[in-house]
Amino acid sequence: MAPKHHPTPLSGDLRKALGKELGKARAMTTVLAARSLELRTKGEALIKEADKLLAESWNEKMWADGGPIVPSPTVDQAINGGYSWLQIQCSRCMKDRDVDLAALKHPSTTFTHDLASRLRCRKCAKVGRRPAATLQQLAPRSRQLPED
């Protein structure tokens, strides 16, 4: 974008006034930019807190009511809220497993409850069965060490 051109007035007083106003405008840009950055930081912190509360609320509903509660947080909201692990249980062998949401190859706008039909137990898959997983809750970290 080309800089704005302010024609210089012929009168000395008007030139002084124009210079003064341009100086004020330039000073105001730094003040407004700093305020914008401050508000953006506060907003991002509030969104992160809201995503955390949404994940905690969904966990409480899952514990109280059981089953996949609709609506659930999206993958992106869960990760942003600090809950990047999904705890599941195989509906056949009842083995608990943790799934890293950040490592999933699904759009970040996918709802957590939609993952239940897509996640499978590795142990049962080896014997030719592919039962769907049962969602348990979102967690901030894994319960178990990664498998080799």
User: Rounded to an integer, what distance in angstroms lies between the CA atom of residue 28 and that of residue 40?
Assistant: 18
Q: Tell me the three state secondary structure of residue 38.
A: helix
Bigger pLDDT: 97 or 145?
Answer: 97
Q: Inform me whether the pLDDT recorded for 2 exceeds 70.
A: no
| Structure confidence at residue 148 as a pLDDT band (50, 70, 90) | very low
How many CA atoms does the CB half-sphere of 66 hold within 13 Å? 1
pLDDT digits (tens, 9 = 90+) for 53-63: 999 999 999 88
Bigger pLDDT: 68 or 83?
Answer: 83
Q: Inform me whether the pLDDT recorded for 87 exceeds 80.
A: yes
pLDDT digits (tens, 9 = 90+) for 106-147: 787 889 888 887 887 777 777 776 777 888 889 988 776 555
Judge whether 87 and 68 are in contact, CB under 8 Å. Answer: no
User: Rounded to an integer, what distance in angstroms lies between the CA atom of residue 115 and that of residue 101?
Assistant: 10
- The residues that bridge with 74 in the sheet, in sequence order, are 111
